[in-house]
Structure 1
């Protein structure tokens, strides 16, 4: 079962109403809320851990069509927090519904297994894309990955630095350089959305040109 078909199966179990969250909102600790798996319908989100000194360590970044917390069916990590990067719509899928469906419906069980496998592969690919190469290559790869129809919601500089494992100052400098080079530009209608020049970002991304848009 491919990812798209598997998502369709689980989305049928979601609550009828969705959560509409602003940028930089926190869904909370999974340890405090072990009742739901989240489907990101629109926007961007990340899952992270905070150290004792307040440093944010990003574990995973999500774009539309990604499930957040499917592993909650088996394990929990009380230290992980989900935060939005941009205004996002999130659908909640009760874990209890998934577990019941797994026991009574082979298609649901197949969908869960397929999505867990996809999560492992997606996580590995993102670790390579956002964690290797120069800081400029990493930021170009992220912008390409997060874009939709050549537009991208730019995270605040602190979150952007956390995602690509660089300092806030370096992230700010690279964004300024990309704007000066015409690789990204402001959207006149939506100030929080950046227009991307795909060819220039692909050149900056180097060997990660295979990164596909959301």
Structure 2
């Protein structure tokens, strides 16, 4: 099992222990890998919603266009994530999805998800937990957009991304790769690109964050969390006892 294939397994294993059979079942969701270039539109709002994708490698984001021509990025997808999960009950896509960098994506029809549900209560439970966490991420983003200053928004977002990456890559340390442009960060945080640049400069001057192109260093994660009023409750391990009781 190579590192790329095991990414979705590491993601699911964050929620509970998986048997060898359950790992094999997850791997069937990555039977058809497709290389997709940075900037490619994976699908568009209004397209038929008849399949999911697993992100085997690379990053992607979902977004909506606003009437004034602006764009709001809704969610950032990382390796191991399932894209399109929230649209399972709908016949059309609710948002656009575009690749952030060169990626490997595996498409699988809704029927494959139903096969997983029929064969494994554990994976079904984890799938619901993942859907719940995606909703929690959107709720947290809504609160930060509405209530926090630009400085706190940026600090909060960086803490969130660091924790998400650390859950599937425990050896990440105090650095993370952040392949997002100024414009993309602006559309995530509801700021202008100029404001994003100024905010990074201010955080750097205070020794909280240092950025070198797509590499971000966080010298003191606790200090950055305090700056961004970041509480990891919506990303923490508190789902595990629930899944244990179900199993």
Question: What is residue 194 of structure 2 aligned with on the other side?
Answer: 169
CA gap 1:25/1:173 in 2 versus in 1, 3 angstroms: farther
CA gap 1:21/1:72 in 2 versus in 1, 3 angstroms: same
Q: Are 1:4 and 2:11 counterparts?
A: no
Asked if the contact 1:50/1:79 (under 8 Å) is kept, the reply is: no
Asked if the contact 2:35/2:105 (under 8 Å) is kept, the reply is: yes
Q: Which runs of 4+ in 1 moved over 6 A?
A: none
Which has the larger helix fraction?
2
For 1:59 and 1:24, how far apart are their aligned partners in 2? 16
Asked if the contact 2:53/2:84 (under 8 Å) is kept, the reply is: yes
Secondary structure of the structure 2 residue equivalent to 1:13: helix
How far off is 1:129 after superposition? 4.2
What 5-or-longer segments of structure 1 have no aligned partner?
A: none
For 1:203 and 1:115, how far apart are their aligned partners in 2? 26
Question: What is residue 210 of structure 1 aligned with on the other side?
Answer: 232
Which has the larger strand fraction?
1
For 1:185 and 1:197, how far apart are their aligned partners in 2? 8
How far off is 1:109 after superposition? 4.2
| RMSD over aligned Cα atoms | 3.4
How far off is 1:161 after superposition? 1.0
How far off is 1:82 after superposition? 0.8
Q: How does 1:82-121 map to 2 (within 5 A)?
A: 82-102=97-117, 104-105=118-119, 107=121, 109-121=124-136
Question: What is residue 178 of structure 1 aligned with on the other side?
Answer: 203
How far off is 1:169 after superposition? 1.9
For 1:192 and 1:18, how far apart are their aligned partners in 2? 26
Asked if the contact 2:56/2:80 (under 8 Å) is kept, the reply is: yes
Secondary structure of the structure 2 residue equivalent to 1:12: helix
Asked if the contact 1:26/1:82 (under 8 Å) is kept, the reply is: yes
Q: How does 1:52-201 map to 2 (within 5 A)?
A: 52-78=67-93, 80-102=95-117, 104-105=118-119, 107=121, 109-129=124-144, 131-147=146-162, 148=165, 149=172, 150-186=175-211, 191-199=213-221, 200-201=223-224
| TM-score normalised by the chain length of structure 2 | 0.67
Question: What is residue 34 of structure 1 aligned with on the other side?
Answer: 49
